[in-house]
Amino acid sequence: MSKYSLPDSVRTAHGAKAPWLAIAGGALIILSGLLSWSYDDRILGDLSIRFYPAGIQIYAMLFGVIAVVLGALLLRRPAWLSPARGLRFLGVTAFVFVVWVAAAISYQSGGLINVNEGAYVALAGAVLTAAAGFLSPEVDVDVMAWPRLSSTVEILIIVVLMAVLLFTLAYTLEIDDGVIFASFLVALIALVGGLLATGFGAYLGFIGANNRRPLLLAAFLVAFLFPFTQDGSDANMSIATQILIFAATALGLNIVVGLAGLLDLGYIAFLGTGAYVGAMLSTSAFATVDIKPPFVVVMLIGAATAAVFGLIIGSPTLRVSGDYLAIVTLGFGEIFRLAMFNLDGNNGPSLTNGPNGIPGIPDLNFFGFDFGEVHTVAGIPLGRFSNYYFLLLLLLMFVMLVFTRLNDSRIGRGWVAIREDERAAEAMGVNTFGLKLLAFAVGAALAGLAGTIKAHVDTSVTPDQYIFLESAFLLSAVVLGGMGTVLGVLVGATILKLLPEKLREVNEYRLLMFGLLLVVMMRFRPEGLIASKRRQLEFHEEDEELSELLQAEHLQEAK
């Protein structure tokens, strides 16, 4: 019996009602979308009109559709799905969603009396859906019973899912209201989490593993086509470019933390190193170095300089480990920031202009292509940030290639051995010190590459951009997404960069919400949102279903 289920006696007595409760709950939630949720028509996109659903009401109706589908699946009980788990997750998150919306309506309109009947109907539907999930008898997922489809159908499924992903990304960035954005986020978590809980997500992962190249191609096309969905919006593309910079830097940190297991709390200094190199070698009127090499050379110099700093900090400090290493790297991050303040010509060499930094960094120009100008492609204007977006996308692909190649190499296996047990790895002949030093150097070099581009995107570089909090966010992106994985870090970086931009209305509570998110994650999914199967087994050794899933994947690869 699952720890989240009711006693067997209760489920045996009332389990037959579960499908009908789910269908009834879903129907009520669908009906709620056609009713009025708020008396005040000035808030949350006007939820006062009946039979004309707005954004939040449409989100609720999606809850209902999924609940009805899962309830119908309970009647058939397919061997390769677990509708009960999906209904539990969907019902609980639907309840949270309705309570959140009702609280927002009450707060913005001046009282709970302004919450109309639609919200209460949705709340009743969410309770019925959750009850159906908890009353449903447990059904173990048989991964060997997964439907086997032709390659054409599997590729078509991948294309459809990627198209949905592209639409979702474009729609997400178009939401300006913070409360509506938070409501959409809860709805998205509920819908995706409900499907994943049924085992359908693992099946999609199985399809993706069978079609790695088409999956990578489809993912690249989604990323490439994203600027064409923004109609020249600089605001949204600015967020997208910052996400790519953050993701590329976090992947470099993932080598240090996720693969080698070295806790680095000063990693933002390497990004700052690359940014300052890019700024000092730029054609800015405030640049302090007279040499102006081509930008490709600047990128190499920035990566090499950051790598040297990685070697300098790594050589004396990697003889310590654990908490001591974290304290030393934290100190290095602060030393870098203070050094940038002091290299102003008064307290040290004139390199960084001290606290004023280096402003006025011009846009890049590759062979006559000006990144600062608007270019029209297929009738769609692509502004300044779109131009940098494509450049950063190429950089991110390079960083991903470096990470995956290293991860699959002998070096990567050595890093993992060090992470698991450094003394055992050293006893088996692994050069632990050399590999740890290499991890620091490679991770720092990748961050330096991202920093050289960041300097031109931001048009200025100042010391206060590289504070400890930024290092903490980078580390959190790795832990939240899933250490040692590429997709997990991309998801973690996107979440941690997108949420502050869209929730500016509650900016003073940002760190509080961030801390609560990490606490919840460490309690219910310590391996991260998208973790490697190895780390899942480390945190969930008792999970027999996961072991069976791994066996099924190995058998499929053997075939």
DSSP sequence for 382-429: E-HHHHHHHHHHHHHHHHHHHHHHHHTSHHHHHHHHHHH-HHHHHHTT
- In a domain? residue 543: no
Q: Which residue's structure tokens are 């790594």?
A: 314
Q: Which residue's structure tokens are 């039979």?
A: 51
Residue among 253, 303, 341 at smallest CA distance from 452: 303
- Please check whether residues 174 and 32 belong to one and the same domain: yes
User: Tell me: the pLDDT tens digits for 188-237?
Assistant: 888 888 888 888 888 888 888 888 888 888 888 899 999 998 877 788 89
Which of 508, 532, 548 delimits the end of a domain? Answer: 508
Which alpha helices (H) appear in 33-116, and where do they start and end?
Answer: 55-76, 83-109
- In a domain? residue 359: yes
- CA gap 510, 469 in Å, rounded: 12
Q: What's the distance, CA 490 to chain centroid? A: 5
Residue 556 neighbours by CB distance under 10 Å: 14
- CA gap 301, 307 in Å, rounded: 10
**By three-state DSSP, how is residue 376 classified?**
strand
Which of 490, 508, 526 delimits the end of a domain? Answer: 508
- Please check whether residues 310 and 351 belong to one and the same domain: yes
- Please check whether residues 338 and 428 belong to one and the same domain: yes
- Please check whether residues 131 and 206 belong to one and the same domain: yes
Non-local (6+) Cβ contacts of 275 within 8 A are: 302, 451, 452, 454, 455, 458, 461, 465, 466
- Please check whether residues 253 and 104 belong to one and the same domain: no
- In a domain? residue 259: yes
β-partners of residue 366 are: 369
Q: Which residue's structure tokens are 């330096």?
A: 448
- In a domain? residue 521: no
pLDDT, residue 398, reads 93
- Please check whether residues 116 and 24 belong to one and the same domain: yes
- Please check whether residues 410 and 276 belong to one and the same domain: yes
- In a domain? residue 519: no
- Please check whether residues 115 and 176 belong to one and the same domain: yes
Q: Which residue's structure tokens are 């991260």?
A: 528
User: How big is the chain by its Cα radius of gyration, in Å?
Assistant: 26
For strands 375-377 and 380-382, give the pairing. Answer: antiparallel
- CA gap 471, 461 in Å, rounded: 17
Residue 95 neighbours by CB distance under 10 Å: 18
- In a domain? residue 265: yes
pLDDT, residue 552, reads 56
Cα separation values, 521 from 108, 152, 516, Å: 30, 37, 9
Q: Side chain identity at 282, as an amino acid letter?
A: S
- In a domain? residue 544: no
CB-based contact 4:133 (threshold 8 Å): no
Residue 260 neighbours by CB distance under 10 Å: 29
- In a domain? residue 540: no
**By three-state DSSP, how is residue 321 classified?**
coil
Termini Cα distance of the chain: 34
User: Tell me: the pLDDT tens digits for 285-344?
Assistant: 888 888 889 999 999 999 999 999 988 887 777 777 777 888 888 888 899 999 998 888
Predicted TM-score of the model (pTM)? 0.86
Write out the two tokens for 468: 């400890």
Residues spanned by the domain of 308: 230-364+377-508
Number of domain units in the chain: 2
- 3-state SS of 10-44 is HHHHHHHHHHHHHHHHHHHHHHHCCCCCECCCCCC
β-partners of residue 376 are: 381
- Please check whether residues 51 and 196 belong to one and the same domain: yes
- Please check whether residues 329 and 241 belong to one and the same domain: yes
- CA gap 270, 470 in Å, rounded: 12
* CATH number for position 324: 1.10.3470
β-partners of residue 369 are: 366
Residue 235 neighbours by CB distance under 10 Å: 11
DSSP state, residue 332? H
pLDDT, residue 421, reads 82
**By three-state DSSP, how is residue 439 classified?**
helix
Tell me the pLDDT of the chain (559 aa) as tens digits: 445 555 666 666 666 788 999 999 999 999 999 999 998 888 888 888 898 898 899 999 999 999 999 999 888 777 788 888 889 899 999 999 999 999 999 988 888 888 999 999 999 999 999 998 888 876 677 777 788 888 888 889 888 988 888 888 888 888 888 888 888 988 888 888 888 888 888 888 888 888 888 888 888 889 999 999 887 778 889 999 999 999 999 999 999 998 888 888 889 999 999 999 999 999 888 888 888 899 999 999 999 999 999 888 877 777 777 778 888 888 888 999 999 988 887 877 888 888 889 999 999 988 888 898 888 888 888 889 999 999 999 999 999 999 999 988 899 889 888 888 888 888 888 888 888 889 999 999 999 999 999 999 999 999 988 988 888 888 888 888 888 888 888 888 888 888 888 877 666 777 777 778 778 877 777 777 777 666 655 655 555 555 555 555 555 554 4
Which of 185, 200, 223 delimits the end of a domain? Answer: 223
- Please check whether residues 201 and 278 belong to one and the same domain: no
- CA gap 25, 31 in Å, rounded: 10
- Please check whether residues 234 and 283 belong to one and the same domain: yes
- CA gap 123, 127 in Å, rounded: 6
